[in-house]
Amino acid sequence: MSRKREPVRKIKEVLRLAYLDALSERQIALGANTKKSTVHDYLLRAKRALITWPQVQGMDDEALERLLFPAAASSDIQRAQPDWGKVHTELRRKHVTLQLLWEEYRLEDAEGYSYSRFCELYQHFAGTVEVSMRQTHRAGDKAFVDYSGDGVGVIDGGTGEIRRAEIFVGVLGASSYTYAEATWTQELPDWIGSHVRMLNYFQGSPCAIVPDNLKTGVTKPCYYDPDINPTYQSFAEHYGLAILPARVRHPKDKAKVEAAVLLVQRWILARLRNRTFFSLGELNEAIAGLLTILNQRPFKKLPGSRQSLFEQLDKPALGALPVQPFEYPQWKKATVNIDYHVSFEDHFYSVPHRFVKETVVLRVTGTIVEVLHRGGRVAVHQRSHHRYGYSTIPEHMPAAHRWLSEWTPVRVVEWGRSHGDHIAKLFEEIMGKKVHPEQGFRACLGIMRLGKKVGDERLDAACRRALDIGGHSYRCVRNILERGQEHAPMSVAQPRVECQHENLRGATYYRSIAEEERHAAASDH
């Protein structure tokens, strides 16, 4: 059974202590933190190779290793090398280890490398791969996102003004499968929208997304407990993933996306430098075409491409996307009115009446309005764009108010007709003048309550007078009753008396002046 070899740097330390400090093998073993037998072996090999300390200082690790271990070096040349690129790729699969890959390798080649030599050669190979590939990323585990520092100018066809578009970049850790798009800003709506489109492009959801500490997504950066923007957190919950912000001033945490941003700048933006764009859609169409070519471009030091690795590694490991994509929500604080409704864009949504005068938070999407109180949802409605309309859930009403929900415009008019013809006619006038009859519904109910105080006869008379004077409102009927004018005779219109005075010219004067000006203009021509 072969013994695991020490790193070359430790061999050099053994030789240094022996040649320069002239220590005993026991002292060298203590100083180099290794076994005495190992020290003896290294010194014996150095003696056979006739190596001096000045020669050791001038040698690189590979040259020194060939001199001290010629048999191992020759056996490395003679042995068929494992496919290190495949080993590197397989390590990104979940639960795959070097031990497992070595065992599979030895099943195919019983005379192959020992486990320690296998690991050593793999580490040497991994060190030759580009820096962004050295980290071992598990399939479907993380996506890294950031903005490119370089934007692209888009010309407004109407004004000729050049507006700078931002470039969003996302990349999957295991396959380096890359996504890029242009947005107008780095603000929250664009930030969330880019994430949604990125996941649709990936056709699945990773376990986590690693953003930079952009204030749009991370309100307060902290390695142990970052404060995530509520909308960004809501997005994460919708897709069942975690947000793991990179540490401040730790670029290695997001080395993958740093490399992807550089690649997008050199491979996409550089190729678009001489093109002129007149819309964001036109720019994104050009980016999408080059993005496909980039992902299908073969790796230099690994087998396959980003596209093939994505199909092989990340795609099968990604979580399924929800049926409905995440809708960007608007947030608004509101106070519950005394009628147990809150307003959003001139539409009123009910809240359980016990929250009257309480401060709540509205979370509004294109289809849903949620009412939150101290983090808990207390009401949810389908969003309505009916201005000045009401969305009321009967269970939100106090018991004394629920009888109102049983009334309809037709029933209101029928009630009026049963108490007086003028009452019914006024109700029809009030609701007929509204675009939506429900807008006059409250006025009619108010007039009904007046009838409970004054009786049907007075109310019908007041409604008749209101109809005569064109006062089609609750306030007009109330004022008539308060002043006792429901039976007062209507005032007769007085005939118009034309006032005569020497300083008043009257209409005939101005007509004559106009006639004179027309005749003068005609004679000039």
Asked whether residue 182 falls in the same domain as residue 283, the answer is yes
Asked whether residue 101 falls in the same domain as residue 201, the answer is no
Asked whether residue 435 falls in the same domain as residue 306, the answer is no
Q: What phi and psi, each to the nearest 5 degrees, are found at residue 342?
A: -120, 155
Cα–Cα nearest to 81, from 121, 47, 50: 121
Is 413 within 8 Å of 428 (Cβ atoms)? yes
Domain count of the fold of the chain: 4
Q: What is the model's pTM? A: 0.50
Range list of H helices, 154-313: 188-202, 230-239, 255-264, 280-296, 306-309
Residue 75 has, within 13 A of its CA and on its CB side, a CA count of: 11
The residue range of the domain holding 380 is 330-397
**Domain end marker among 317, 340, 356:** 317
Strand 218-220, strand 227-228: pairing = antiparallel
Instruction: With respect to residue 471, please indicate whether it lies within any of the assigned structural domains.
Output: yes
Q: How far is Cα 209 from Cα 144, in angstroms, rounded to an integer? A: 6
Cα–Cα nearest to 340, from 358, 327, 352: 352
Asked whether residue 392 falls in the same domain as residue 448, the answer is no
128 to 105, 131, 400: CA distances (angstroms): 21, 8, 79
Cα–Cα nearest to 477, from 401, 515, 420, 437: 420
**Domain end marker among 317, 339, 359:** 317
Asked whether residue 92 falls in the same domain as residue 122, the answer is yes
Instruction: With respect to residue 212, please indicate whether it lies within any of the assigned structural domains.
Output: yes
Instruction: With respect to residue 246, please indicate whether it lies within any of the assigned structural domains.
Output: yes
Q: Residue 169: what pLDDT?
A: 93
Asked whether residue 243 falls in the same domain as residue 297, the answer is yes
217 to 24, 198, 212: CA distances (angstroms): 61, 16, 9
Q: What CATH number corresponds to the domain at position 247?
A: 3.30.420.10
Strand partners, 252: none
Asked whether residue 158 falls in the same domain as residue 303, the answer is yes
Q: What phi and psi, each to the nearest 5 degrees, are found at residue 218?
A: -120, 105
Instruction: With respect to residue 491, please indicate whether it lies within any of the assigned structural domains.
Output: no
Asked whether residue 71 falls in the same domain as residue 93, the answer is yes
Asked whether residue 446 falls in the same domain as residue 309, the answer is no
Q: How big, in percent rounded to 5, are the helix, strand and coil portions of the chain?
A: 50, 15, 35
Q: How far is Cα 445 from Cα 407, in angstroms, rounded to an integer? A: 9
Instruction: With respect to residue 509, please indicate whether it lies within any of the assigned structural domains.
Output: no
Q: Residue 524: what pLDDT?
A: 53
What does the block give as tokens for 441? 């519904």
Place of tokens 């089609």: 472
SS3 of residue 415 by DSSP = helix
Asked whether residue 186 falls in the same domain as residue 63, the answer is no
Place of tokens 């016990």: 354
Asked whether residue 119 falls in the same domain as residue 164, the answer is no
**Domain end marker among 397, 416, 447:** 397
Q: Residue 251: what pLDDT?
A: 55
Q: What phi and psi, each to the nearest 5 degrees, are found at residue 243?
A: -105, 120
Please state, as a whole number, how many other Cβ atoms lie within 10 Å of the Cβ of residue 250. Answer: 10
Asked whether residue 248 falls in the same domain as residue 386, the answer is no
Instruction: With respect to residue 324, please indicate whether it lies within any of the assigned structural domains.
Output: no
What does the block give as tokens for 410? 């037709």
Instruction: With respect to residue 16, please indicate whether it lies within any of the assigned structural domains.
Output: yes
Q: Residue 365: what pLDDT?
A: 84
Q: How far is Cα 102 from Cα 257, in angstroms, rounded to an integer? A: 31
Burial 477-489 (b: 16+ CB within 10 A, else e): bbebbeeeebeee
Burial 142-160 (b: 16+ CB within 10 A, else e): bbbbbbbeeebebeeeeee
Place of tokens 């720019």: 283
* Per-residue model confidence as pLDDT tens for the chain (525 residues): 344 556 677 787 888 888 777 788 888 888 777 888 888 888 888 888 787 777 777 777 777 777 777 655 444 555 667 877 777 777 766 667 788 888 888 788 777 778 877 887 877 777 666 444 445 678 888 899 989 888 899 998 778 889 999 999 999 988 889 999 999 998 888 999 999 999 999 999 998 888 876 655 554 444 333 456 778 888 888 998 888 887 665 555 567 778 888 889 888 888 888 899 999 999 999 999 999 999 999 887 777 889 998 998 889 999 999 998 888 888 889 999 877 899 998 899 999 989 988 999 998 888 889 999 987 899 999 998 888 888 888 888 876 555 555 666 777 788 888 888 888 888 888 877 765 555 577 788 788 888 888 888 899 999 999 988 888 888 899 999 998 888 887 764 444 445 555 555 444 544 455 566 556 555 554
Q: How far is Cα 221 from Cα 44, in angstroms, rounded to an integer? A: 56
Terminal Cα-to-Cα distance of the chain (whole angstroms): 126
Instruction: With respect to residue 494, please indicate whether it lies within any of the assigned structural domains.
Output: no
